[in-house]
Amino acid sequence: MKLKICGMKYQDNIQAVAALQPDYLGFIFYETSARYFNSAIPNISKTIKKTGVFVNETLDVVHEKIKTYNLQAVQLHGEELPEYCERLRDTILSGGVEIIKVFSIKDDFKFDQLEPYETVCDFFLFDTKGKLPGGNGYTFNWDVLNKYPSTKPYFLSGGIGLEETEKLKSFYKSPASKYCYAIDVNSKFEIEPGLKDTEQLKQFINRIRKLNSSRH
């Protein structure tokens, strides 16, 4: 199970979190977000995929951010249509940039809406439906994913913190986890929006690694 740490904002904090070797670091390019990123990304390990998070953004802006920040993944957190994803995929395919399409869940989800996206994105990401497009701080009902009809790998997101470790343990044993590729964390590890608590993240990463080793 991979780990994505999202909502990075401050240079020193980015370097400290990158030192923990997550698989993905997320930078939010959505201007109304408290975690909006508009500075430079410091040098970090090339093993970490820099991920740009966008909400209903124009393709031109997405392309510009990919180029400026040398992004390895793009996370679409709005109401982007399959056609939008297809156009984006066609233009970034040669660069090997991954496309992650987000879907929000509360207590139920109509999985048939995933079908048009199957061929135009690399991963799905399931987040908690809330007032904001991400970073709401609470989990959705993961049991919903027991009905997941696809084989496309997905990210599990939404209010995951240290206290969710036991819940994750149970999730790992459920059919829902079969295609879970990564855990995505954000607000539960924050001192303030965009500033992550590296000690708590270190504890979480150690727990995730233990769970991963027991899973195989």
Which is higher by pLDDT, 198 or 130?
A: 198
What pLDDT score was predicted for residue 216? Answer: 55
What pLDDT score was predicted for residue 129? Answer: 79
Q: What is the pLDDT of residues 153-172, one digit of tens each?
A: 999 999 999 999 999 999 99
Q: What is the pLDDT of residues 138-156, one digit of tens each?
A: 799 999 999 999 999 999 9
pLDDT mean over 30-38: 96
What pLDDT score was predicted for residue 130? Answer: 63
| Number of Cβ within a 10 Å radius of residue 156 | 24
CB 45 within 8 A of CB 18: yes
The pTM of the full predicted model, rounded to 2 decimals, is 0.95
pLDDT mean over 54-82: 97
pLDDT mean over 42-61: 97
Please tell me the distance from the alpha carbon of residue 44 to that of residue 5, in angstroms, as a whole number: 14
User: Mean pLDDT in the chain?
Assistant: 93
Q: What is the pLDDT of residues 97-128, one digit of tens each?
A: 999 999 999 889 999 999 999 999 999 999 99
Please tell me the distance from the alpha carbon of residue 166 to that of residue 210, in angstroms, as a whole number: 12
CB 121 within 8 A of CB 143: no
Q: Does residue 135 carry a pLDDT above 70?
A: no
The domain locations on the chain are: 2-215
Q: Which residues contact 83 (CB under 8 A, 6 or more apart)?
A: none
CATH 3.20.20.70 fits 2-215, yes or no: yes
Q: Give one DSSP letter per residue of the chain, joined into a string.
A: -EEEE-----HHHHHHHHTT--SEEEEE--TTSTTB--SPPPP--TTSEEEEEESS--HHHHHHHHHHHT-SEEEE-S---HHHHHHHHHHHGGGT-EEEEEEEESS---GGGGGGGTTT-SEEEEEE--SSSS-------GGGGGG----S-EEE-SS--GGGHHHHHHHHTSGGGTTEEEEEE-GGGEEETTEE-HHHHHHHHHHHHHHHHHH-
Calculate the alpha carbon distances from 67 to 70, 78, 121, 171, 213 in Å.
5, 21, 19, 37, 37
pLDDT mean over 186-202: 97
